[in-house]
């Protein structure tokens, strides 16, 4: 999380360089109509600019892993995306399958219904089962904050931490919520400084990315990474 912390400290200092910004970004393409050529281009862009990862649909994990071989760019995919209402067994299987095919990181949609109903034990067991079945992966659990009041966002974040995940994440981008500085700050305070907070959902500009990083985001998920880097380079 060094890059994110340096961005927070830079609020009144020099503007950050493109490399430090790029290392915050999961370069994302999760559109249902995306094809192989678009994933190849995503991987080429990630290599060129040094993005932390590419985030692709599960069917493209092996392709992305092959395209990124020999680079530092990691392969991220999603589990039970975007609704998070699969059975526990199906979610564990999907996570294991993604890792077996080459995923380094898993963005797991939380069991939103369990959070909304306050079924914390059920949510904990669901997430913990995925974490324990794929110990070699980095787990980022999507809370879908647009469905939750602040008190449940905090309780959900703490449940994710207890289940052993490395990150809490704001939104899928397909639900009602978007990444906000208020939510990022709330989640950062809930999980402390040593765990990750990923902001995702509606992040399209450099100024938005900077605000979220300064609020406590240690990773940014966006499909607008190129325009953000181009905006930074033009300054």
**What are the catalytic residues?**
107, 169, 198
Q: How far is CA 13 from CA 8, 64, 70, 190, in A?
A: 10, 37, 35, 28
Structure tokens at 207: 């100024």
Q: Where are the alpha helices (DSSP H) in the chain?
A: 2-9, 18-22, 36-49, 61-67, 88-100, 112-117, 120-133, 150-162, 181-191, 206-215, 225-233
Structure tokens at 113: 């219904």
Q: Do residues 76 and 54 touch, judged by C-beta distance below 8 A?
A: yes
């Amino acid at each position: 999380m060094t890059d994110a912390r340096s961005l927070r400290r830079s609020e009144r200092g020099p503007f950050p360089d493109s490399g430090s910004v790029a290392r915050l970004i999961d370069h994302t393409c999760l559109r249902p109509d995306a094809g192989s050529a678009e994933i190849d281009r995503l991987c080429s862009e990630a290599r060129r600019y040094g993005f932390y990862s590419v985030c692709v649909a599960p069917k493209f994990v092996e392709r992305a892993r092959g395209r990124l071989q020999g680079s530092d760019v990691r392969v991220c995919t999603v589990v039970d995306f975007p609704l998070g209402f699969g059975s526990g067994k199906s979610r564990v299987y999907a996570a294991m399958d993604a890792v077996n095919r080459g995923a380094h990181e898993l963005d797991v949609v939380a069991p939103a219904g369990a959070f909304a109903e306050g079924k914390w034990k059920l949510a904990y067991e669901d997430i913990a089962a995925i974490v324990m079945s794929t110990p070699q992966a980095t787990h980022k659990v999507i809370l879908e904050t647009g469905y939750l009041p602040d008190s449940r966002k905090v309780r959900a974040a703490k449940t994710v931490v207890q289940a052993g995940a490395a990150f809490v994440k704001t939104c899928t981008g397909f639900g009602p919520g978007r990444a906000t500085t208020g939510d990022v700050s709330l989640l950062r305070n809930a999980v402390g400084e040593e765990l990750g907070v990923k902001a995702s959902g509606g992040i399209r500009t450099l100024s938005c990315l900077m605000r979220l990083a300064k609020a406590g985001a240690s990773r940014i998920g966006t499909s607008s990474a190129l325009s953000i880097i181009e905006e930074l380079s033009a300054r």
